[in-house]
Amino acid sequence: MTPPASSAEPAPARTRADHRSEGFTGHLSKFWQRVTDGLELNQLWSQFKTDARASYRLYSRDYKARAARETQKRGGLQKFLEFLWAILEKLSPARRVLLLLALVLLFFGGGDINWQNKAGHVEVITLPLQFYGGALLFILLMLEVADRVVMKRDLEIARDIQSWLLPATPPQVPGVAIAFATRPANTVAGDYYDVFPRPAGSSNEARFLIAVADVAGKSIPAALLMATFQASLRTLSSTSCSLAELVEGMNQYACTNSQGGLRFTTAFLAEFDHASRNLSYINAGHNAPVLRRSSGTVERLTQGGLPLGIQASGSYECGSVALQAGDWLVIFTDGLVEAVNHSDEEYGEARMLAGLQSGATLSPNELLSQMMRDVDSFVGATPQHDDITCLLIKVG
């Protein structure tokens, strides 16, 4: 028996409406996923806070520098205006004018004009200047976004080039196991690490050069100097000079590019003879590497001299230690121990040493992963303010 037509008619209408609703919801969901890259609201809020802190540090740097030069006390309004000026200074003059004009139109562009026509009637003309103020802000935003896109593309190219300068995997060195990791604070970094063989000396035994360096500053300027450091180190180390002569040559070259000592480089350079297990080293103003003996005692490798690039005539003292089976050597940059959490508390060498002592039975790769996780857990959502580099060596 065929059911009445009236009982089946409403169903198609509801189905079409449901399809339209589902289609709109699906498109809206896809649009939101594309805008947010799939991040949750709490992740977006955390990212916004991170960006806001970084922007505040950028704008307040010039403001604080100006305040330090002035001795007279300033009122709250003057401080606010000077902070706004620190923001304006980041823009080109043309964009400053555009921003100021947009703000004037937004805040003072509303209102009506009353005028009397020939017939004696009063007419009211509304000036939509606030709309034009918003349009000018949108144009300014597009200009800044275009600059950011170009800069981001250039930084990504620079990051790729920098990755070619650093070793992807540690070399095979007889008698030791090596692991290293670096984490830039920005797209590119001023930290450098490397392990590579040097020409054999009079003993005809292969030697390996171990280098960890930290250029003063961050981002592009530090990355450029890091590249020159890498080039000069590779060039000078290809000759059969002593370690002290190598470092002195590096220092003289660094002084020609240091802007009067402002762009100096701290470095730890060592030469390892795997046959004798002897490590000769020079610490040029770098964080003292930690040598943990198999017995658990800790030594610091401090002999050396000033950072490279400060004094062209500087001399460097070479230290030497004999490594034994079970010893650990930890070489790091200050970004590791000076990483801070939300309370502005530093990670510190004590925590690093505790992790080294507890993980002494692990492999270098395992211990390095454990150390980086511990730093991440300590820092939390606090933005990284400096490059982090760590190189671990375990004597077999």
Q: What angle do CA 203, 204, 208 make, to 5 degrees?
A: 95
User: Tokens for 271?
Assistant: 């030469």
Would 154 be classed as within a structural domain?
no
Question: Looking at the structure, do residues 285 and 372 belong to the same domain, yes or no?
Answer: yes
Would 136 be classed as within a structural domain?
yes
Question: Looking at the structure, do residues 178 and 290 belong to the same domain, yes or no?
Answer: yes
User: Tokens for 240?
Assistant: 């059969």
Asked whether residue 178 carries a pLDDT value surpassing 70, the answer given is: yes
Would 31 be classed as within a structural domain?
no
Mean pLDDT lowest for which of 12-21, 182-191, 337-346, 367-376?
Answer: 12-21
Q: What angle do CA 300, 316, 287 make, to 5 degrees?
A: 35
Would 149 be classed as within a structural domain?
no
Question: Looking at the structure, do residues 348 and 218 belong to the same domain, yes or no?
Answer: yes
Q: How many CA atoms lie within 13 A of 302 on its CB side?
A: 3
Confidence of residue 87 (pLDDT cuts 50, 70, 90): confident
Give me the residues paired with residue 279 across strands. Answer: 272, 321
Question: Looking at the structure, do residues 174 and 219 belong to the same domain, yes or no?
Answer: yes
Nearest to 185 by CA among 41, 353, 379, 349: 379
Question: Looking at the structure, do residues 115 and 254 belong to the same domain, yes or no?
Answer: no
Asked whether residue 65 carries a pLDDT value surpassing 80, the answer given is: no
Question: Looking at the structure, do residues 389 and 270 belong to the same domain, yes or no?
Answer: yes
- 352 touches 371 (CB < 8 A): yes
Question: Looking at the structure, do residues 322 and 382 belong to the same domain, yes or no?
Answer: yes
Distance CA 45, CA 318 (A): 51
Nearest to 247 by CA among 281, 273, 203: 281
Would 97 be classed as within a structural domain?
yes
Distance CA 110, CA 131 (A): 9
Question: Looking at the structure, do residues 122 and 248 belong to the same domain, yes or no?
Answer: no
Q: How many domains does the chain have?
A: 2
In this prediction, residue 49 carries a pLDDT of: 77
In this prediction, residue 150 carries a pLDDT of: 84
Question: Looking at the structure, do residues 124 and 182 belong to the same domain, yes or no?
Answer: no
Question: Looking at the structure, do residues 85 and 173 belong to the same domain, yes or no?
Answer: no
Mean pLDDT lowest for which of 33-47, 167-181, 283-297, 363-377?
Answer: 33-47
* Model confidence pLDDT, tens digit, residues 102-138: 888 888 766 655 666 666 666 666 667 788 888 888 9
Provide CB contacts within 8 A for 318, sequence distance 6+. 242, 243, 244, 280, 281, 282, 303, 304
In this prediction, residue 158 carries a pLDDT of: 81
Asked whether residue 4 carries a pLDDT value surpassing 60, the answer given is: no
Q: Which pTM value belongs to this model?
A: 0.72
Question: Looking at the structure, do residues 231 and 274 belong to the same domain, yes or no?
Answer: yes
- 269 touches 284 (CB < 8 A): yes
Would 225 be classed as within a structural domain?
yes
- 268 touches 279 (CB < 8 A): no
Provide CB contacts within 8 A for 290, sequence distance 6+. 298, 299, 300, 328, 329, 330, 349, 352, 353, 356
Would 56 be classed as within a structural domain?
no
The CATH number of the domain holding residue 170 is: 3.60.40.10
Provide CB contacts within 8 A for 39, sequence distance 6+. 47
Question: Looking at the structure, do residues 360 and 230 belong to the same domain, yes or no?
Answer: yes
* Model confidence pLDDT, tens digit, residues 244-274: 999 999 999 899 877 776 789 999 999 999 8
DSSP SS3 for 98: helix
Would 11 be classed as within a structural domain?
no
Mean pLDDT lowest for which of 4-18, 125-139, 155-169, 214-228?
Answer: 4-18
Q: Which domain holds residue 215?
A: 166-395
Indicate the average pLDDT of the chain. 84
State the average pLDDT over residues 346-372: 95
